[in-house]
Structure formats: C-alpha cells, structure tokens
Amino acid sequence: MTAHRRFKGLYTALVTPFRDGRVDEDAFRALIAWQIENGVDGLVPVGTTGESPTLSHEEHKQVVAWAVEEAKGHVPVVAGAGSNSTAEAIDFARHAEEVGADAVLVVTPYYNKPNQEGLYQHFKAVNDAIGIPIIIYNIPPRSVIDMSVETMARLYELPNIVGVKDATANIARVSLQRQVLGPEFVQFSGEDVTALGFVAHGGHGCISVTSNTAPRQCADLLHAALSGDFTSALALQDRLFPLHTALFAETNPSPVKYALSRIGRIHDEVRLPMVPVSAATKAKVDEALAIAGVIDG
C-alpha cells in the first residue's frame, strides 16, 4: 500500500487530559475509543495539541504507548516525536517504533533556528535511526523556521520520509509541493479552517484540533471532500467554521480542552505556562459547539 493511501483522511491531534496535575489515563483511553467510534482515520498523540513541551519524557512515552494499545490496530497512530534536540527526537522516535506506532510526526526544530542544511541533517538523523514512516511537521508560526520545498524534496529521497503536516496556512504550498514532490507525497493540512481548500488543491487530509470535540462532523467533511463531494463538504464547513475559529481564540490547546470539558470528556486542565481560557472565549466556544451540533443550542 502506498503511503498516501495508508495515511489519508482525518487524523485527530489528541489532547493529553490532566487531572490534579497528572496525566488522566482513563480519560485519554476513553477519548481514543470515542474518536474511533466516530470515524476518524488516525490518531496523533503528543503533538502541540497534546502539550508535549510540558510532558516529562516518561509521560510522553507512556501516552504514546497508551495510544497504540487503545487504538488496537483499528486506525494508524502517528506519534509525536519532535524536539529541538536531535538526540531527543531520535529517542522519542525509537520508542514510538518499539511500542508499535505506525509512524512518527517530527516537527522542525524550534528555538534553535537551524538553516536548511541543519533541517536536512536533523531529519536525516531521525530517518537513519528508525524503520517506520516519518511525517515532517512544518509549522513556522511556532518553530520560527520554514522548511523549503527544496529541502523537503531532498528528504523525500530518504526511505522513511513520506509526507508533511503543513501548518503554513498557505494553500498554494500544496500545489507547489505536489508539483515538486509528486502526488504520492502525503500532504496533511495542519489548519482546520483551511483543510477543505487544502484537499481541493490535492492534499490527502487533515491533522485536526477540532475533531477532538466534533469527530463525526470533521470526518464527514474530510471524507466528502476526498470523494469529490464538495457541496456536502462546504455545507459541513459552514457549520464547523465557527468552531474552527473559536478553538483558536486563545492559544491551543486551552480552548479545545475547555470544549472537551463542556461535553464531559475531560477535565478543563492545562499545564503552565498554558492557562484556562477566559469567560469571553468560553462563550464563543459554547456558541460554536451549538452551531456545529455538538451541544444543544
């Protein structure tokens, strides 16, 4: 099976539930089961939405292992394995492979600001250390750096690099990357609000924040778009658009954790330096959840 056929559709960038300062295993496992029941195509634990920067290494690895166990092979698990330390990224990636993750998501190293050659060498080192697929996570708003399409093309020559989670919010990049790397190079949108347009340009799916709270609606949107039914997809986009925007009214994942607490899935708890959302944002999220049909209006 080619990579783009295996890695396609709606993947949820899972939150990491906390309770009284600890990772809430029961809530995390229940969230995964609910996601799978509602039609998601894959799971992405311990990414940005999973608050990976504030998880200990032990917690990070435990969450990945729980995700693989709970998924039970029903959907692929793409484990977050990024770091601004190459050695640390390799350690996370090797662990993900050892516990049975289907692939790893590796972010461009943040804070260090490596040049394009540094980016290439970082990803090559991870590639050389494991034997499972690697999806590049290109998110300039958080990492400061932007991986060029030329660097991506060099990396695609390596055996384990299969695609990108593109959070540039530049839909033109989809066509450019498709032109340079070809249609088999997996392209996931990292922006819920532009995912519909991303797919129209040739993208293969979305790694979604919104689907934490509205998995069925988001799955229906992505599946309609990927099947070419853009009329149905646009109708769903209109319903989900307020939620896509409300969940980023403050820094992710605080709004989506509030939304999940609102529907009784997790406690509304984040780790510093993240804080719970304001009353004004709670009102926006409540309204958007009702418009999307997640709660009664």
At residue 6, the pLDDT reads 82
pLDDT at 1: 44
pLDDT for the residue numbered 164: 98
8 Å CB contact between 70 and 37: no
Q: Is the pLDDT assigned to residue 136 strictly greater than 50?
A: yes
pLDDT for the residue numbered 5: 63
Assess contact for 111 and 138: CB atoms under 8 A: no
- 72 CB contacts (<8 Å, ≥6 apart)? none
d(CA 97, CA 103): 8
| Residue 86, pLDDT above cutoff 70 | yes
Determine the pLDDT at residue 4.
Answer: 57
Each residue's pLDDT tens digit, 206-262 = 999 999 999 999 999 999 999 999 999 999 999 999 999 999 999 999 999 999 999
Give me the pLDDT at residue 10, please.
98
Q: Exposed, middle or buried: residue 74 (CB in 10 Å: 0-12, 13-18, 19+)?
A: middle
- Can you read off the two tokens belonging to residue 29? 């496992």
Q: What is the mean pLDDT of residues 151-161?
A: 98
Q: Is 137 marked active-site?
A: yes
Torsion of CA 160, 92, 140, 271, to 10 degrees: 150
Choosing from 137, 257, 258, 282, the catalytic residue is 137
Residue with tokens 């949108």: 189
Question: Exposed, middle or buried by CB within 10 Å (0-12, 13-18, 19+), for 142?
Answer: middle
pLDDT value of position 197: 97
Q: Is the pLDDT of residue 33 over 90?
A: yes
Is residue 297 predicted with pLDDT exceeding 80?
A: no
Average of per-residue pLDDT across 133-145: 95
pLDDT digits (tens, 9 = 90+) for 164-187: 999 998 999 999 999 999 999 999
Cβ–Cβ under 8 Å, residues 201 and 175: yes
Residue 2 pLDDT > 60: no
With b meaning 16 or more CB within 10 Å and e meaning fewer, what string describes 216-239?
A: bbbbbbbbbbbeeeeeebeebbeb
Tell me whether strands 22-23 and 18-19 are parallel, antiparallel or unpaired.
antiparallel
SS3 content of the chain, % helix, strand, coil (to 5): 50, 15, 35
Degrees, nearest 5: CA angle 282-283-287: 115
Distance CA 115, CA 19 (A): 40
165 is annotated as an active-site residue: yes
Give the pLDDT confidence score for residue 290 in this predicted structure.
98
Select which of 8, 165, 282, 284 is catalytic. 165
Task: Count Cα neighbours of 31 within 13 Å in the Cβ-side half-sphere.
Answer: 32
Question: Do residues 194 and 202 lie in contact, with contact meaning Cβ atoms separated by under 8 Å?
Answer: no
